[in-house]
Amino acid sequence: MSKVRTAAAPPPVAARSRRLHPAPVRVMHWINALAMIVMIGSGWGIYNDSVIVSGLHFGTWRIGSWAAESLLWHFAGMWLLAINGTIYLIYGVVSGRFRERLLPIRAGEFVRTVRDTLHFHIAHEDLTVYNAVQKVLYIVVILAGISQVVTGLAIWKPIQFSGLVDLLGGFQSARGLHFLGMAVIVGFLVVHVALALLVPRTLWAMLTGGPRLASRTTSRAQP
Amino acid sequence: MKSLFRPAQRPDRTLLTGHRSLVHAIERRGVLRGALSLGALTMLTGCDWKTPDAVEKALRQVSAFNDGVQAAIFDPNKLAPTYPASMVLKPPKFNAYYPIEQLKPVDGQSWRLELTGRIDNKAYWTAQQIAALPEQEEIIRHICVEGWDYIGQWSGVPLRTFLERVGADLRAKYVNFKTADDYPSSIDMATALHPQTLLATKYAGETLAAPFGYPLRLRTSTKLGFKNPKWITAIEVTNTYTPGFWEKAGFNWFSGI
């Protein structure tokens, strides 16, 4: 019944004026950026007192001048990251944004995009469509973010959640995975920020909303 | 030598000339942006970047909020995993706010345990009296706030048994400790009554060595290492919150694991 009505009536105004990055996505993106910087910087400060990779110290690259301060930052930032991240995940699923922007991923397209990128053909003409590599990177970083919350919970409360610690292969293993998750996110950040600076329109789009999208309602109305 | 990254077939020269102005524009913008973000990064992570006092105050309030969250997460009946004796580290790790060279051993003969606060029988205890109390052994993981850990084998009277015996108010909020090395500490009553919380007198079946808290130390399976004071001289049961040595410096008070 709804199908008939949608096909007959013109698409609602809200659907027609939908932007690439709706306001909630932009707000959550920048809150997440802040939370990530706090978590990474304070995490490096905490890490320095008991290093995982021998010889690797973060020195002055840290938030909080010593362990106590870094820990205060980390355990305040965790709320921002976890609450904002949870709302983002619910929004992404419920609004259909994840399915619309991140799927499907075709292997052939992935290989082609990697090849093009290595030849410095970075195609970003159409901001509204993510290429296969972008899709994979976004999915990886979202999973890494979820993983950080889970491994973080395990090393914060290894006795209360001892089953989770066992699942992760023990306390030091959970710590290693927490460190690895950080490394994945930092790796993503380097590429993400570099590309945003190379193609400033993408950065601008995350501030102002970006181009308007073709209506999703219309295309779905045709069975 | 020819670069591996140079294509076998060069692109048409006119391609470059046609786009030269664009390439220059991108480079100029890139340098400007790069300089700006580098500047921002040095502000963020510069050598003496100290957390401003107002921010530190707000962060400590979040930390106090986290005390409540951790108390809610804490399950008084959940036992920490225990391990076989073969995994025990001997000797354990020395840890204090000073190096081991500055350690001042406690004389067990003249040592007395003082009791204060909401306790019915405040008579002091000697090491011999404590040794006569029922003993329990726990082989548990010690986890330091810094991230390292080891397995230790601790024995002594359960703190719950001791508190019951001296007639402590078990509904009070806190159990505070004073130590010979001036390292005050306090824990919540729920943790004090946890079945694996011990007043330890032995390690690996032998009387505690001086660096690890002889004659009496706290050993709880559900808190970070720094919440286990060594060389205890006094126990107080109270409803008044008193931050410990590291908590005053900014570490989280509850520090449950």
Distance from the Cα of A102 to chain B's closest Cα (Å) equals 29
- Segments of B103-220 assigned E as strands: 114-117, 136-143, 149-158, 174-179, 185-188, 198-203, 206-207, 217-219
SS3 B203: strand
Average pLDDT over residues A103-110: 89
> Is the pLDDT confidence value at A67 over 90?
yes
Average pLDDT over residues B244-256: 97
pTM > 0.80: yes or no:
yes
Put simply, the answer to whether A37 touches B44 (Cβ < 8 Å) is: yes
pLDDT in tens, A145-193: 999 999 999 999 999 999 999 999 999 999 999 999 999 999 999 999 9
Put simply, the answer to whether B75 touches A160 (Cβ < 8 Å) is: yes
Distance from the Cα of B70 to chain A's closest Cα (Å) equals 9
* Distances, alpha carbon A131 to alpha carbons A92, A127, A136, A203, A209, in Å: 18, 10, 9, 17, 19
Q: Considering only CB atoms, which chain B residues are within 8 Å of A34?
A: none
pLDDT in tens, B162-175: 999 999 999 999 99
Q: Which domains does chain A have, with CATH numbers?
A: 2-221 (1.20.950.20)
pLDDT of residue B230: 98
How far does CA A41 lie from the centroid of its chain? Answer: 17
Q: Choose the CATH number for B54-248 among 2.40.50.100, 3.90.420.10, 3.40.50.300, 3.90.230.10.
A: 3.90.420.10
pLDDT in tens, B20-45: 565 555 555 555 555 455 445 545 54
Angle made by CA atoms B149, A159, A148, in degrees to the nearest 5: 80
> Is the pLDDT confidence value at B106 over 80?
yes
Instruction: Using CB atoms, pick whichever of A46, A160, A197 lies closest to residue B78.
Output: A160
Work out the pLDDT band at B1, boundaries 50, 70, 90. Answer: very low
Which of A50, A72, A195 has the most B C-beta neighbours within 10 Å, making it the best mutation to test the interface with B? A72
Instruction: Using CB atoms, pick whichever of B47, B147, B250 lies closest to residue A72.
Output: B250
pLDDT in tens, B200-227: 999 999 999 999 999 999 999 999 999 9
Q: Considering only CB atoms, which chain B residues are within 8 Å of A193?
A: 37
pLDDT of residue B14: 60
The answer to whether A170 and A163 are in contact (CB under 8 A) is no
Which of B93, B148, B151, B221 has the most A C-beta neighbours within 10 Å, making it the best mutation to test the interface with A? B148
Average pLDDT over chain B reads: 89
Distance from the Cα of B117 to chain A's closest Cα (Å) equals 30
pLDDT of residue B212: 97
Rounded to the nearest 10 degrees, the angle between the axes of helix A171-198 and helix A200-208 is 100
Distance from the Cα of B67 to chain A's closest Cα (Å) equals 11
Put simply, the answer to whether A171 touches B63 (Cβ < 8 Å) is: no
Q: Which residue of A has its CA nearest to B256?
A: A157
**CA-closest candidate to residue B252, choices A79, A136, A75, A104:** A75
Average pLDDT over residues A202-216: 87
Ranges of each domain in chain B: 54-248
> Is the pLDDT confidence value at B11 over 90?
no
DSSP type of residue B180: T
Which of B27, B62, B223 has the most A C-beta neighbours within 10 Å, making it the best mutation to test the interface with A? B62
Integer Cα distance of B197 and B176 in angstroms: 14
Put simply, the answer to whether A41 touches B256 (Cβ < 8 Å) is: no
